[in-house]
Amino acid sequence: MPWQPEGAPSRPRLLMASVAMLLAIGFALTLAIFYPGVMTFDSRYLHEYAMKGTMGDWQSPVMVWLWALIDPIISGAGSMFLLIATTYWLGFGLLSLTLASRGGNVALLLPLLAMTPPSLALAGVIWRDVLFAACWLLAASVTFAVDERQSWIRLAGQALGLALVVFGVLLRPNALLAAPILAAYTIWLSRTSLRRATILYIPAVLVFFGAVQFVYYGMLGAKREHPLQTVMIFDLGGISHFAKANQFPVEWSEAENAMLLEKCYQPTMWDIYWRLEPCDFVMRKVEREKGLFGTSAISKAWLAAILHHPVAWLQHRSAFMWNFLAGDNLAMWTADIENPGKDVFADRAAFGSLRAALDALKPTPLLRAGFWLLACIVLCGIGRNRAPREAAFVFAACGSAAVYVLTFYGVGVASDFRYGYWAVLAAMAGGVVLLAGEGGRSKKG
């Protein structure tokens, strides 16, 4: 061990202090760029529900409930923005400080990655996808931090980690297929394995599904607004396009039918059939004229379309997934929803600088969800050959992120970059953990 002057702080303490300084800079930078947070149309919808005390399942009633609870702290966007930003930096901070306590210089890399555009650009936008990703990052970080601690600290950390996993599912119900992987990590820590996660998988999916039903409709009394039928409308439109035959349970005029089969379909979002001209006639007739949206007629038509035209369904779903993974999709929300036609924070230099950096990266793989999905898969493969603690973390974070992104093949209705955000955070965290483990292993050797 190198000689140190008497009373000199140990190397891990200096490293932890350096990491803490970077974290403070990162948090302050987030406030400078985004405070009081960027509201989107989705978040305004949620906030209006929170203020009215209305619960619906179109978005997440749990986020509505939470926003109503914390809104008195800073009315409007501010309270939710602070929650998201704090959770984001706690997740990166706890993980980087844990790595620093072991003396690995690579711990300095994690706060720096958290300040890069692919990660930071969404940290100030109020979307449930961002809060979801931050919560699952914190869940994995807490679990990693308590892995080798005393029993009562370890148990408390595991309980918190599992609660954050459940909360993530309540924010994003399609995450229930990915949640068992992360839940297994909170239960078994460094003893997590593919075999144990497989054993837990089906029972955990059922438990998470039950939790969504109980919390949404039992505890919160959320109104059923049939968000799953948006998937069905999108699929009916896609199958109609590729099969060249109308699959909707309604009759169209000759002009409408030609539009539906040839011109309306885009593998980008279901909104084309809902609110975007000229193809908004679809939902106008399905929902407002015929009153079919939310009824079994849509579900039956959707199932029949898939059974009769499975190849067309696969063509549609594959086209959507390719666009989601490889397309030049919306990354950061910049519109001021209160002043149409204007940009939010247009007079703020810090926001403008981040936006310029993001625009410069737009053509690169760093702003493609597919790049981060591939990174997570590769990291899972590399992690199998690492020490149990690092391997378990990477398997949990990157494995759950990969499964989560892949669920959008079946249920995705829009292709914004935010839907792959958990993969971005998981890949950054998992990559640094692997580097830290490799460095520690070489020193030991």
pLDDT in tens, 180-220: 999 999 999 999 999 999 999 999 999 999 999 999 999 99
* Burial class (CB within 10 angstroms; exposed 0-12, middle 13-18, buried 19+) of 445: exposed
Mean pLDDT calculated for residue range 240-251: 97
Q: Quick one: 355 and 311 in the same domain?
A: no
- Does one domain contain both 255 and 201? no
Whether residue 7 is predicted with pLDDT greater than 50 in this model: the reply is no
Domain count, the chain: 2
Are 207 and 235 within one domain?
no
In a domain, 382, yes or no: no
414 SS3 class: strand
Which pLDDT value is given to residue 443?
Answer: 39
Cα-Cα end-to-end distance for the chain? 14
Whether 142 and 107 share a structural domain: yes
Say if 372 falls within a structural domain: no
Q: How confident is the model at residue 149 (pLDDT cuts 50, 70, 90)?
A: confident
d(CA 371, CA 434): 18
* Beta bridge mates, 98: none
Average pLDDT of the residues in 216-240: 97
For residue range 37-57, list pLDDT tens digits in order.
999 999 999 999 999 999 999
Kindly state whether residues 216 and 273 are assigned to the same domain: no
Both 188 and 305 in one domain: the answer is: no
Please check whether residues 42 and 158 belong to one and the same domain.
yes
Q: Which residues pair with 343 in a beta bridge?
A: 335
User: Are 68 and 193 in a shared domain?
Assistant: yes
Residue 440 lies in a domain: no
Which residue do the tokens 């990174």 mark?
A: 375
Coil vs helix vs strand at 73: coil
Instruction: Please indicate, yes or no, whether the overall pTM of this predicted structure exceeds 0.75.
Output: yes
432 part of a folded domain: no
Token pair of 150 as six digits: 């005393």
**Alpha helical stretches, state H, 102-149:** 109-114, 117-120, 128-146
Residues 71, 216, single domain; the answer is yes
Confirm whether 389 is domain-assigned: no
Residue 445: pLDDT above 50?
no
Assess if residue 415 is contained within a domain: no
426 domain-assigned: no
Q: Are 317 and 238 in contact (CB under 8 A)?
A: yes
Q: Over 332-353, what HEC string results?
A: CCCECCCCCCCECCCCCHHHHH
Residue 137 lies in a domain: yes
Residue 248 and residue 146 share a domain: no
Q: At what angle do helices 296-308 and 228-243 cross, to 10 degrees?
A: 40
Residues 152 and 288 in one domain: no
Structural domain of residue 50, as residue ranges? 11-223+347-361
Q: Is the pLDDT of residue 421 over 70?
A: yes
SS3 of residue 190 by DSSP: helix
Whether pLDDT at 426 is above 60:
yes
User: What is the predicted pLDDT for the residue at 187?
Assistant: 96
pLDDT of res. 211: 97
What's the CA gap between 413 and 411, in Å, rounded? 6
Residues 185 and 76 in one domain: yes
